[in-house]
Amino acid sequence: AATLREAAEGQGVFVGTAVNDGRLNDSRYSGIASDEFNSVTAENVMKWETLQPSRGQFNYAGGDRLVDFAQQNDQQVWGHTLVWHSQLPSWVSNGGFNATQLNQIMVDHITDVAGRWAGDIAYWDVVNEAFNEDGTFRQSVFQTTIGQQYIANAFRAADAADPNAKLCINDYNIEGDNAKSDGMYALVQSLLSQGVPIDCVGIQSHLILDQIPGTMQQNMQRFADLGLEVVITELDIRMNTPSDATRLARQATQFGQVVGYCLAVDGCSGVTVWGISDADSWIPDVFPGQGAACLWDDNLNPKPAYDGVLTAL
């Protein structure tokens, strides 16, 4: 195959990227996004702080641009993300609302956003990063105010607003079999037993070179065995910078391995990488001294990791 999307189509999976709204007017950037991928995730413009910066004021311009881009290029849109503790405006996080009020605010947000794009979004990350590393629930404003029930409430509201979108829960550090993925596993079992409309588990996969969890494939399999789709939603593999040829070659192998896990797990429907080029990546901002985590380099030239993914698909 000549492109990632062509190769992925041949395997019956999708291959996606996070798209930075501010970069879409660079034709090399948007050309890669359209030629190489058949799924796009909004890197930021479908987050709460962008969509509803103050109560009742919705800003859909950036999200609409991505939906239009995807429709022009025959791509699916992965909606990211309805309920999350981060990039949440302070009118929500510090509003002093009681449980009933905050639940209504959350449901109203979901209803407006998922309803606005009903039919345009293939998958929603309904709840993002609900867990602590030890598998207990993160003490977000939603958890501390509404309680664990906020998760089921969010899925039910999303299903009502857009019955056709597949609804996912998404998190990081749940790639391997560990306390956090055990917490996720127990939650999704319980949601399924209550009849909550959940379709998929998103495994972010912000990975570190030479530290791909050895239990990743079997862990993905156990979620798939519950009858859910499993998706690698935010793949990148970071290293200390500057990079060098030896480590870039190992990175290529490891990207290929992770893609291979998805192909090996029946029920893994696709892989999304978190950004196109190393220059666009969130990694250097959040992990100082690390980077080189993507498939294209700072100049938008394909890296060995690009070939690693293409070959694996």
43, 129, 229, 234: the catalytic one is 234
| The pair of three-digit structure tokens given for residue 9, joined into one six-digit string | 């189509």
At its nearest, how many Å lie between ligand XIL and the CB of residue 232? 13
**Torsion, Cα of 292, 211, 262, 137 (10° steps):** -100
Site membership for ligand XIL, residue 185 (CB under 6 A): no
What are residue 51's phi and psi, to 5 degrees?
-75, -35
234 noted as active-site residue: yes
Residue nearest to ligand XIL (CB): 282
Nearer to ligand XIL, 219 or 272 (CB): 272
Q: Say how many residues touch ligand XIL, by CB under 6 A.
A: 6
Give CA–CA dist 113/100, Å, rounded: 20
Build a one-symbol-per-residue string for 275-294: x at contacts with ligand XIL by CB under 6 A, - elsewhere.
-------x------------
Is residue 51 within 8 Å of residue 63, measured between CB atoms?
Answer: yes
Burial 201-236 (b: 16+ CB within 10 A, else e): bbbbbbbebeebbeebbebbbbbbeeebbbbbbbbb
Amino acid identity of residue 203, one-letter, is I
Which of the residues 123 through 142 are near ligand XIL (CB under 6 A)?
128
Find the shortest distance in angstroms from Cβ 259 to ligand XIL. 20
Residue 205 makes contact with ligand XIL by CB under 6 A: no
Beta strands in 50-189 (DSSP E): 76-83, 123-128, 166-171
Nearer to ligand XIL, 7 or 175 (CB): 175
Binding flag, residue 44, ligand XIL (CB under 6 A): yes
Catalytic positions are: 234
Point out which residues bind ligand XIL (CB under 6 A): 43-44, 128, 204, 234, 282
